[in-house]
Structure 1
Amino acid sequence: MNRVCKILGIQKPVIQAPMMWITSPKLVAAVSNAGGLGVLGLNGGFKKPVFTLEETMSELRNSIHQIKELTDKPFGVNVFPSANDPMGLSKPIIQVCKEENVKILVTVGAASPKEYDQWKKDGFTLIARDFNPTVRGAIALENAGADIIVATGCDEGGCMPSLSTGTTSAVALLSDAVKVPVLAAGGIINEKMAKAAAIVGAEGAYVGTRFILSKECPACDDAKKDIMNTHPDDYITFSLMNGFAKFRTTPHKSGKEALQANLKGNLNPSTGDFYSSMIKGNLDEGCNTICNVANLIKSIDSCKDIVDEIARAWVNK
């Protein structure tokens, strides 16, 4: 049996990336019902922006309840080690997960041995993704207790690594260095890309952009059309987090301004308002961040069809 499936209690080794606002109970449940693992991102399923910790946890709990009404399959929730959690959200998120019996955490950030140890003692399974995956970083994640490690290449959308290592290279390096399973992240949009990752050592896929272009994703139609219609030569890439990470986006006002800020020496520009741009369709107000092969996606499909196609790289072996 595929090790990723065995560890997570799922049928197909396709994990939906936690994409903040553009996740929702409907999306998460659809991926899990299709045999993969749906993951609720920060603010996923929220009907409007909230501004207090109490409101955030209340909305998170509501989203978890809605997921449970739609699926009895495993799903995960996104958290951050304290070093990458300036707003202090992860501790209360984990408490909600404990109370609601959610058993899988998808962590984003460098290894945090003390926190990992506590999370493991609390009964959580950990999928760990470093911002800038390296061989030493992967070994540190494994030693800290990660059950599955994400090998993210610069091909990805969302908060991209600042390193220039591509997805297949990252997978090959990390899977050779650790004993736990490695997921490929970055440009895994179809069976062909998944097979390429599988050949070099990936035991599953960690997928973001392809699920934006799903029928169940709450991203608005204008945002989805923007992704499909933008020529890949027109994507904008800029640095943020003081150069620690990058964004790739379709060419609208926020992305253009961020790139100009970089050119003037500001490596921590605003990325705009995701809720306004990707949920409400005001594309100039935020960054429609995508992988580098998003233009190859030619249709908006069900999560089931997406999971089935990508999983063929492993399920039919």
Structure 2
Amino acid sequence: MKNRLCHALAINTPIIHCPMHTMTNGKMVAAISEAGGLGILGINSGYNITDVTSGASSTNSEVVGNPNNYSILDTMTERNLMNEQINTTLENTFRSFAVEVASQYDSPEKDPTAKSIVELMRKRRLTIALFEGFGSPLSLAWAKILHENGIKIMQVVSDLAFANTAINHGLDIAIVKELVVANKIQNVYPDTLVVLASGIETSDIQTLIQQVDGIYLNTPFAICNEAIIDDGIKARFLSSHKDDFIKLTLPFGDFLTFKTPYIEQILSRKLSPQELFNQLHQFQGLIDGMIKGNLSYGYCLFDLNSYNINEALSAEEIINTTFHKID
């Protein structure tokens, strides 16, 4: 199935990979793109907390960066790390893939780390970016530098007001979590590509794909055979039932995590989404949980509708299974 999203991104199926902070690497992204979808190198993609032998992707620290810094690494290290993963991706596929550009600031001049990723994309001739504004719409300044470097821009938008700002600033592809929001955007901006964030177990993907331009998948890829998730966490996820999970409301959305004494104790405090994220040690806690497999002080993030998944597939099998549903 090819549609206008496929033509815009030079992909074979309208499936886009949703990256999670530090949870991707070049081989995983290449596998997704090689299967016909769009893989995305996420923030700090390929960051390795255990292999300290060499390279920008290694560290001998158990603590990852500054917990108040979304990028977690200094500018040069993050740029070199992303370049490593771009090399790995290109060694394994010639198909399209994207890079996540993340910034808490409204101007590239205020964020040398994110700006350096855009410059790297230009030098490597990569033309698709997922912009992460941490709750803020794409700004005019970010749209300008990305478009001037020949880069199409995707962003997750929360509602129509958010979409209005981002699209008027230059957003090319809006990713939404609710079909009603997708339909509103389509009515107002028929030329804007709209992608629906959805788990692979969605009840009727075939109906959904007739109403939007593509599907944005998180959990199926997060636990796929090529993913870097801890084996024990993957096994626990696949054997769990609905009652084994509990919802986390974080600044960037609602997710499921395992119900553990650590999580239940924190949730008992009735914290705001930002306070909860801080109490969970932000992205350090996610790394502790999903990569290191320690749920005593770490956590996981899964889609709200993903608890019915009971089998880990390869990236190719995920694409083919989803594609079959929407063909």
- TM-score of the pair, normalised by structure 2: 0.81
Task: Work out the percentage of aligned pairs sharing the same amino acid.
Answer: 24
Correspondence for 2:90 among 68, 76, 79? 68
- Counterpart contact for 2:244–2:258, Cα < 8 Å: yes
Correspondence for 2:218 among 208, 220, 223? 208
Cα deviation, residue 237, structure 1: 2.4
Q: Deviations over 1:219-267 (max 9, x none)?
A: 11111122223322342223444xx754431113553343133359945
- Counterpart contact for 1:209–1:291, Cα < 8 Å: yes
Cα deviation, residue 87, structure 1: 6.9
Partner of 2:279: 270
**Structure 2: where are the runs of 5+ without partners?**
50-63, 66-72
Correspondence for 1:185 among 172, 176, 197? 197
Change (3 A) 1:230 1:88: farther
Q: Deviations over 1:278-315 (max 9, x none)?
A: 1121123322111112121121111011011222354x
Change (3 A) 1:282 1:259: same
Correspondence for 2:263 among 242, 255, 265? 255
Q: Runs of 4 or more off by more than 6 Å in structure 1? A: 84-87
Q: 2:256 & 2:265 partners in 1: Cα distance?
A: 13
Q: 1:90 & 1:117 partners in 2: Cα distance?
A: 14
Q: The residue matched to 1:206 in structure 2 has which SS?
A: strand
Q: 1:9 & 1:237 partners in 2: Cα distance?
A: 36
Q: Does 1:174 align with 2:168?
A: no
- Counterpart contact for 2:238–2:312, Cα < 8 Å: no
Between the two proteins, the alignment pairs up a number of residues equal to 295
Q: Deviations over 1:89-111 (max 9, x none)?
A: 31121122222222110012312
Change (3 A) 1:128 1:264: closer
- TM-score of the pair, normalised by structure 1: 0.84
What is the aligned-residue RMSD (CA, Å)?
2.5
Q: Deviations over 1:164-198 (max 9, x none)?
A: xxx33333333333221211103x21474422422
Q: Deviations over 1:115-140 (max 9, x none)?
A: 1022111100111213xx11122232
Q: Does 1:56 align with 2:78?
A: yes
- Counterpart contact for 1:191–1:310, Cα < 8 Å: no
Change (3 A) 1:255 1:173: farther
Q: Does 1:3 align with 2:27?
A: no
Correspondence for 1:237 among 247, 254, 275? 247
Change (3 A) 1:192 1:237: closer
- Please state which structure has a larger fraction of its residues in helix: 1
**Structure 1: where are the runs of 5+ without partners?**
153-166
Q: Does 1:100 align with 2:101?
A: no
